[in-house]
Structure 1
């Protein structure tokens, strides 16, 4: 697999592009963690409510237990404390639910902050890199065989601008059919350079 071009300028652009994509990905993940931390700060009141209400409920139930030991009227004294303890438990559950909701929201928000920019950048850049990988890998295999050189020359005839072809031969298609070796090698070299690859030694 050919990852980078042979020509220095194009190879430098590809390396810089890959580094930029990695840096963009790292920045997006870092930003997502910051967004998560900031959003999770909203869960602090819920945790505090849960903690305070839980403590209050325990103390109210302890008070109810103590009141229940009072002779004759213990049951009547303990009942309000039990009701108040239950209300405190309900408040604790509400605080816990709020904290859990904030946690879920923070998680999905962080995922969105990370994924959306990475996908957007990747969808623009990666198809170009994959196209080069496929094309360059195929060209590298072809440039080392006579049959491959012939195919590269034919592709140059089909895809290269007319001014490029006319600079090589007045009749590149005819020369290709006539097996004009110098012209075929020149056409193949043009096709390789267009892909950012150096011609094989045989073509230089």
Structure 2
């Protein structure tokens, strides 16, 4: 699998792009933690209400228990304290619910802050990288075989602009069919260079004329 191009400029852009994606992802996660912390500050009043109401409820129930010990009228004296203690418990539950709502909201908001930017970036960047990896990996396998060089040259004939082809040969298709080694190699090199790869230095295209006898 070919992850990066051979040509320095294109390889540098790819490495920079990968590092940028990592940096963007790390920044999004960091920002999400900050958003979570800031949002959770809204839960502080609810926590304080819950704590104060619980403490008040306990004290009121203790007072009610003490009043209940008073002979004859203890039950009547304890009733208001017990009722106020129940109201304090309700207030504590309301504070707890408020804090839980804020916590849930902060959690989902931080997830959105982290995930949405990362997904948006990856949805644009990953297809480009995967397309390069598939194409470059295939081209690397082809450039090291004689038949592969032929296929790369044919790919150049069908995909490269006419201006590029005419700069290689006045009849690139005819030269390819005739197996002209220089033209075939040049066509394959153009296709590889367009992908960001360097041509192989060891493969000789097909139909190279035999060397002249000494």
TM bracket, shorter-chain basis = over 0.9
Partner of 2:149: 149
Secondary structure, aligned partner of 2:4: coil
Q: Measure, in 2, the Cα distance between the counterparts of 1:121 and 1:53.
A: 47
Q: Measure, in 1, the Cα distance between the counterparts of 2:39 and 2:56.
A: 28
Asked if residue 90 in structure 1 is aligned to residue 97 in structure 2, the reply is no
Secondary structure, aligned partner of 1:48: helix
Q: Which ranges in structure 2 are unaligned for 5 or more consecutive residues?
A: 205-214
Q: Deviations over 1:58-112 (max 9, x none)?
A: 1111111111111111111111111111100000000000000000000111111
Partner of 1:99: 99
Q: TM-score, normalised by structure 2?
A: 0.93
Partner of 1:169: 169
Q: Which ranges in structure 1 are unaligned for 5 or more consecutive residues?
A: none
Corresponding pairs, count:
204
Q: Which segment drifts farther, 173-182 or 66-75? A: 173-182
Query: Does structure 2 retain, via aligned residues, the 8 Å contact 1:24–1:118?
Result: yes
Partner of 2:42: 42
Q: Deviations over 1:13-57 (max 9, x none)?
A: 111111111111111111111010000000000000000000000
Q: Measure, in 1, the Cα distance between the counterparts of 2:137 and 2:111.
A: 35
Q: TM-score, normalised by structure 1?
A: 0.97
Partner of 1:28: 28
Query: How far did 1:116 drift?
Result: 1.2
Query: Does structure 1 retain, via aligned residues, the 8 Å contact 2:57–2:89?
Result: yes
Partner of 1:76: 76
Query: Does structure 1 retain, via aligned residues, the 8 Å contact 2:49–2:92?
Result: yes
Q: Which segment drifts farther, 123-132 or 136-145? A: 123-132
Q: Measure, in 2, the Cα distance between the counterparts of 1:30 and 1:105.
A: 18
Query: Does structure 1 retain, via aligned residues, the 8 Å contact 2:144–2:203?
Result: no
